[in-house]
Amino acid sequence: MASRFGEFLKNCRLKQEWTLRDFSRRAGVDPGNYSKMERGLLPPPKGREKLVEYAGHLGLEEGTDDWLTFFDLAAAEAGMIPEDIAGDANFLERLPLLFRTARGQKLEDKELLDLVDYLRGTSKESE
């Protein structure tokens, strides 16, 4: 799986068996700028509308793993939290635990179990 938005974007285009120019023509985008985005020299579009447009041209279907990966990578490269997660107040409360875990800091056992339960959807609050 691609770990960067541009790499994922390129892989999606190649799955359609389109050259960069083919895709650019179909999507009505400048091939030079699109190439820079695929190579990670330009960031992903900031607006959801443009991302939805690209996803549609790439044949990504809403709700699929590829759709979510596309939007998650775009948000991550913009330093943002994906919209669907940002709207989940219970998850946002646990973000500091996730950040501390990612930094390798030790969590209390209860904090770690609470985070794991929530992520698995088995916490009392997720019911």
| Of 106, 80, 103, residue with least CA distance to 92 | 80
Which pLDDT does position 26 carry in this prediction?
93
Give CA 34 to chain center in angstroms.
Answer: 18
Which pLDDT does position 127 carry in this prediction?
46
Q: What share of the chain is helix, strand, coil (3-state, %, to 5)?
A: 65, 0, 35
pTM here is 0.77
Task: Return the residue matching tokens 């120019």.
Answer: 21
Amino acid (1-letter code) at residue 32? G
Which residues does the chain have with pLDDT short of 70? Answer: 1-2, 122-127
Cβ 78 vs Cβ 43: under 8 Å: yes
Instruction: Return the SS3 of 66.
Output: helix
As given in the structure block, the two tokens for residue 102 are 């990612």
Which pLDDT does position 125 carry in this prediction?
54
User: Using alpha carbons only, what angle is made at residue 55 by residues 51 and 60, rounded to the nearest 5 degrees?
Assistant: 150
Which pLDDT does position 72 carry in this prediction?
94
DSSP 13: H
Which pLDDT does position 27 carry in this prediction?
92
Which pLDDT does position 7 carry in this prediction?
96
Which pLDDT does position 126 carry in this prediction?
46
How far apart are alpha carbons 17 and 15 in whole angstroms? 5
Q: Which residues contact 7 (CB under 8 A, 6 or more apart)?
A: 38, 40
Please give the mean pLDDT across all residues of the chain: 87
Which pLDDT does position 124 carry in this prediction?
57
